[in-house]
A and B are shown apart, each in its own frame.
Chain A
Amino acid sequence: MQKEFALELRRKAVISGIGLYLFSLIFICYLTFSLRKNSINEATWSALFWLAILFSVINSVAKSFIGEKRGTFIYYYSITSPQAIILSKIIYNGILCLVLSLAGYGLFSIFIDNPVQDKLLFITTLLLTSFGFSASLSLISGIASKANNSNILMAVLSFPVILSILLMAIKITKNVLDGLDRSTSYDELLNLLAINCILTSLAYMLFPYIWRS
């Protein structure tokens, strides 16, 4: 697992690339909307925010299997079990997603606006969604990396699967933006947690079947 971190951190170019991607995405949002200053309302804010996060997350997690060379796979295969690999991938990608969404949140509040009222709840949501995204996207990236046109396939396969997470997150965001009481979002948070558990355990159980080839 630590090896995974070391390996991934070594690919600094990829990480800075993703960071720049996120930055330019948000900057484009800023530029296109700043013509009508202050015209952005809460619904647009949450839509823009989640779109930016979604695209950067899919792009970054897709790299986790697709970008790797054939030799690395064989090397992994010989040293550890598939379960260890998928777990470390999920944890690594989860942290990456969390960092990305926190950075996105920071950039959004600098450039556009920060209408979030209950920050703690919002950050909890970001945490839960990051791990949900990483669990489902890691597995799907594993599937897509075996196919020919893997980049398109990655997007096609992942959108419907992560939509349920995204819908929950958007609902909580709406509650947070409207300044509703924290207790109104507990249902959604619990649901998010449950979906996360299901997806992670499924990814854990199913990954060995992908890995064998």
Chain B
Amino acid sequence: MKTWLKLTAIALLFYVHIAGLLFDVPRLNILNETIRALYFHVPMWFGMVLLFLISFINAIRYLGKPSPEMDRKVVAYANVGLVFGILGILTGMLWANYTWGSPWHGDPKQNGAAIALLVYLAYFVLRGSLDNEEQRARLSAVYNIFAFAAMIPLIFIIPRMTSSMHPGSGGNPGFNMYDLDSNMRLIFYPAVIGWFLIGLWIASLRIRIKTVEEKILELEDEKSA
């Protein structure tokens, strides 16, 4: 990753944290100060979906032209996406605890998100139970593509068909309605970009670590041989 991108990510997140916690937000019943969760909770989901999308694209590329490098990419992006998803669910539960009264409300969006995480946990279980390296990469790439396709209706279509208490669906207004002077957008969009860049950064670091580890293993093999 380019250095200026890393610096932008850091600067954006500094800005988001300071501005998100200190700036003025619209005063609303029930929501009150918890509206600030928008800056931290929603970017997690944007980041998760984008990272899973990258993982999905890399899985397709892997099947087109297999190479261990591509496999490392698929895994790294799925991994970071999973972390984002878990953080997203935790921040969502925190928010729900104060506005809905309990952390888990059986809301369609919550359930969909939990299932999406299950899909990727299953993906890692699959990787863990295959021994042959090449086979593991190929089968898990197949499952990755299949799972991503199955996940889309779960998090994008079904929650929109049912009524939900989640803001932005089932007749509940999203932040567009509250935010008449668009001040929240000034923080929200940088937050999305900042977190996404951080996700890319972590993934690229993981890829590099894995590559180096594999190189070291190869060198040791040569030495002992």
CB contacts (< 8 Å) of B141 on chain A: these are 209
Contact partner of A161 (CB less than 8 A), chosen from B129, B131, B142, B147, is B147
Residues of B whose CB lies within 8 Å of any CB of A are 63, 115-116, 118-119, 122, 125-126, 129-132, 135, 138-139, 141-143, 145-147, 149-151, 153-154, 157-158, 161-162
User: What is the interface of chain A mostly: helix, strand, loop, or mixed?
Assistant: helix
Q: Does B129 contact A149, Cβ atoms closer than 8 Å?
A: yes
Q: Does A34 contact B (CB under 8 A)?
A: no
Q: Is the CB of B126 within 8 A of A147?
A: yes
A111 interfacial by beta-carbon distance below 8 Å: no
Looking at the assembled complex, report how far the CB atom of B86 sits from the nearest CB atom of chain A, in whole angstroms.
15
Chain A 191-213 residues near chain B, CB threshold 8 A: 191, 195, 198-199, 202-203, 206, 209-210, 212-213
A contact residues vs B (CB 8 Å cutoff): 136, 139-140, 143, 146-149, 153, 156-157, 159-164, 167-168, 171, 187-188, 191, 195, 198-199, 202-203, 206, 209-210, 212-213
Complex Cα gap A188–B157 (Å): 11
Given contacts A143-B139, A146-B139, A202-B146, contact A164 B126 (CB under 8 A): no
- The answer to whether A206 and B142 touch across the interface, beta carbons within 8 angstroms, is yes
Assembly CA distance A208 to B106 (angstroms): 39
Give the Cβ gap from A193 to chain B, nearest Cβ, in Å: 12
Of the candidates B63, B119, B132, the one whose C-beta lies within 8 Å of that of A160 is B119
Q: How long is the Cα–Cα vector from A174 to B34 in the complex, in angstroms?
A: 35
A195 to B157: give the CA distance in the assembly, Å. Answer: 11
B145 near A157: Cβ-Cβ < 8 Å? no
A-B contact pairs, 13 of them (CB 8 A): A140-B143, A147-B130, A147-B139, A148-B129, A148-B130, A148-B131, A149-B129, A160-B150, A163-B154, A199-B149, A199-B150, A202-B146, A210-B139
